[in-house]
Amino acid sequence: MRITDIIEKKIKKQELTKQEIEYFVTGYTNGEIKEYQVAALLMAIFLNGMNHQETTNLTIAMANSGKILDLSTLGEIIVDKHSTGGVGDKVSLILLPLVSSLGVPVAKMSGRGLGFTGGTVDKLESIPGYQTQIEINQFIKNVEKIGISMISQTLDLAPADKKLYALRDSISCVESIPLIASSIMSKKIASGAQKIVLDVTVGKGAFMKDIEQATQLSKTMIEIGKLANRQTICIITNMNEPLGYAIGNSLEVIEAVKFLKGDMPQDLKQVVLELGSYMLKLAKKGEDIEKNKIRLLENLENKKAYHKFLELVENQGGDIRYLTDLKKMPKASYIEPIYSKKNGYIQQIDSKKIGELVGILGAKREKKEDSIDAKVGIVLNQKVTNQVKIGDVLAYIHANDEEKLKEVKIKLEEEIKISEQKLEKEKTILGVITK
């Protein structure tokens, strides 16, 4: 078999066989197939797609590229959560300690930022001391000990995805249903979850731009889940404007901690409660979705979820003094407000554009080996539909470089659109797909 023939087949829009897919996934994982060849193949898949069978075969080959964890020793139903990516998406930081505080074991392997979206691992690493790269045995021990562990993708689990994910990011091949479905489901299968709740984001700051695409991606992942005997539920959520107010790694940690202490932006709250209710349901901790939401809220109000988050951070080497006193969190050198120049109503805050601006400030990678600046980002002071007057603060830019600050300031002022008419709020939860 030759990789050049496989690339050529996909360029000609032909179906790849199971053996061809296994050949390229194994060859790339063990370094026998060159990165530029895989980049060419990914681009061909990105442009010409894959059918259902190919996507399933790709997922299974990626899951089998490393160990498949068996978490049955934990004795309870392991329910995992994953998002297809968003801007300001700090849901995992809040939701996972929350469900853990209600007795659902959480063994979560997260990703780094991809394209214009952020990644939970980059956010966790902005907490001084937090170790995202730990041995698998330790990962399981942590879940046994405190009911939760959140780590980055280790080389042992779905290593093919780790390499493909970073490569896709560096060649602008992220927004593809077969590549996203196989990336997410291979990780979930390898990390041992028996049941999976997926946050399928849709809109400007998501990889899926409309409900039809989001539904297609959801159905693809649910089907893969069925074949792998992993019950999967997809919640479709709105990502037209950033979720919550903060965008940027340590800024999102700060917002997550404030949320856990009771300061909950509406949109973020809805996503956390919806996903959490389905996680409880799949874990057999409560059949009724509305009642589950009430139980989740109780554990936010009584601070059990907040204390679980502190326990998680401490158990993974993080210094919780930064969280119990948020003023201690490392800050950017410049924190600059931007002001409204009009009276009216906030019409649009395009989350993709905001994600890109946060990238310019240094929170994202250009090349996969780049490091990022955890302290920079944007904290919005408004949500779409808010009424504003001339001189009101629209947002704060957190920057470490004066030139970048200037550039982002001009662009951000253009990106926060204000209309004279009052607008209707869009829904946050757009659908639930179970089959």
> Which residues of this chain interact with ligand URA, rule CB under 6 A?
84-85, 111, 114, 165, 179-180, 183-184
Active site residue 70: no
Q: What is the DSSP string of 390-401?
A: TT-EEEEEEES-
Report d(CA 373, CA 399) in Å as an integer: 9
Q: In this chain, which residue has its C-beta nearest to ligand URA?
A: 183
**CB of 289 within 8 A of CB of 275?**
no
| DSSP helix/strand/coil, 62 | helix
Beta-carbon count within 10 A of 169 CB: 22
Q: Which of 187, 188, 375, 404 is catalytic?
A: 187
Q: How far is the CB of 151 from ligand URA (least distance, A)?
A: 14
Nearer to ligand URA, 188 or 281 (CB): 188
In the set 183, 218, 277, 351, the catalytic residue is 183
Q: Catalytic: which of 168, 230, 293, 364? A: 168
Task: List Cβ neighbours of 75 (8 Å cut-off, separation of 6 or more).
Answer: none
Minimum distance from residue 280 beta carbon to ligand URA (Å) = 23
The nearest distance, CB 196 to ligand URA, in angstroms, is 12
Asked whether the beta carbons of 396 and 382 are under 8 A apart, the reply is: no
Q: Is 21 or 114 the residue whose CB approaches ligand URA more closely?
A: 114
Half-sphere exposure of 180 (CA within 13 A, CB side): 28
What DSSP character marks residue 363?
I
The CB-of-322 to ligand URA minimum distance in angstroms stands at 27
Out of 82, 108, 112, 404, the active site residue is: 82
Smaller CB distance to ligand URA: residue 41 or 180?
180
Residue 304 is a catalytic residue = no
Fill in the amino acid letter for 247.
I
Beta carbon nearer to ligand URA, 320 or 372: 372
In the bound state with ligand URA, the residue whose beta carbon lies nearer, of 166 and 297, is: 166
Minimum distance from CB of 175 to ligand URA (Å)?
9
C-alpha radius of gyration, the chain, whole number: 21
**How many residues are given for the chain?**
435
CA–CA distance, 235 with 6 (Å, rounded to integer): 35
Q: How far is the CB of 165 from ligand URA (least distance, A)?
A: 6
Residue 12 CB-half CA count within 13 A: 9
Q: Residue 161 catalytic? A: yes
Q: What is the DSSP string of 291-344?
A: HHHHHHHHHHHTSHHHHHHHHHHHHTT--THHHHSGGGS---SEEEEEE-SS-E
Q: Which is nearer to ligand URA, 208 or 280 (CB)?
A: 208
What is the Cα–Cα distance from 35 to 369, expressed in whole angstroms? Answer: 14
Catalytic residue among 89, 161, 169, 199: 161
Shortest Å, Cβ 110 to ligand URA: 8
DSSP string, 147-183: SEEEEEPPTTSSHHHHHHHHHHHHTT----HHHHHHH
Q: Which residues are catalytically annotated?
A: 82, 161, 168, 183, 187
